[in-house]
Amino acid sequence: MYINIVAGGPTAFIPPLGNFNIPGSLWIGVDRGTAVLLDNGIKPDAAFGDFDSVTKKELAEFETSIPDLKKYKPEKDETDMELALSWAIRQNPESIAIFGATGGRIDHFLANIHLLEKYATEGKSCEISLIDCSNYVSVKKPGAYHVEKESGKKYISFLPGSLDVSGLTLRGFKYPLENKYVPRGSTLCVSNELIDETGTFSFSEGILIVIRSND
């Protein structure tokens, strides 16, 4: 099972959602992202939020058309995205893709990156990614990973997250590394590129934010 979550970030950053609407996918709306889904002809399987960014007319439409609408008070400890993501993880999907979570408000974007780090450190097994028109962001815990060249995502950056990274090894890249210590705040691994059709990266300790980007 695949779960796609759509938040209410600027629609200019959201790629065509139909490209990700594979059979068996669940679609989840987060606050205004619910309207984005409906505008794209996709009926959400569930929706989460305080819905303070939608009109009364839109909310009424959500209440009549969405079978699992979870409405919360604006005064709460979790963001709408955290509530939706926590629910999605409990469904034990193979992967979770998040759209509408970049661009616009930087505080929301950073909070979403922190959520990916949180679930990576908790050892959640499913792949969670933030996707927009130019970027694919994921957070990795220690291990070895295989990566393939993509024509639309030329650049690959590796940034330490909340923890320093030890033992970072990059093979098949323009700028290879071997067992390198990369502290938080380092820009050593920004804008790398694959020189082979496939490559690998691995590390032994820390949290690694991996970003695939185009210009």
Indicate if the pLDDT at residue 4 is higher than 70: yes
pLDDT of 172: 97
pLDDT at 46 over 70: yes
Comparing 63 with 188, the larger pLDDT belongs to 188
Contacts of 129 (CB under 8 A, 6+ apart): 95, 96, 97, 98, 116, 136, 137, 138
Q: Do 2-133 and 140-213 fold alike per CATH?
A: yes
The pTM score is: 0.91
Q: DSSP string spanning 152-180? A: T--EEEEEE-SS-EEEEEEESBSS-EEEE
Tens-place pLDDT, residues 76-130: 888 999 999 999 999 999 999 999 999 888 999 999 999 999 888 786 678 899 9
Taking phi first (over 0 means left), then psi (-120 to 50 degrees means alpha), and beta for anything else, what does residue 103 get? left
- CATH number 3.40.50.10240 given to 2-133: yes
Condensed to tens digits (0 to 9), the pLDDT of residues 193-213 reads 999 999 999 999 999 999 999
Contact of 69 with 46, CB cutoff 8 Å: yes
Provide the residue type at 19 as one letter: N
pLDDT of amino acid 104: 86
Q: Is the model more confident about 124 or about 73?
A: 73
Phi, psi of 118 (to 5 degrees): -55, -50
Q: Is residue 3 predicted with pLDDT exceeding 80? A: yes
In degrees, rounded to 5, the angle at the alpha carbon of residue 51 between the alpha carbons of residues 47 and 52 is: 165
**Mean pLDDT of the chain, nearest integer:** 93
Instruction: Count other Cβ atoms within 10 Å, centred on residue 104.
Output: 16
pLDDT digits (tens, 9 = 90+) for 134-177: 999 999 999 999 999 998 899 999 999 989 999 999 999 999 99
Mean predicted confidence (pLDDT) in 170-185? 97
Confidence of residue 75 (pLDDT cuts 50, 70, 90): confident
Give the separation between CA 80 and CA 71, rounded to whole angstroms: 10
Query: Residue 74 and residue 55: Cα distance in Å, rounded?
Result: 15
Per domain, the residue ranges of the chain are 2-133, 140-213
> Does domain 140-213 correspond to CATH entry 3.40.50.10860?
no
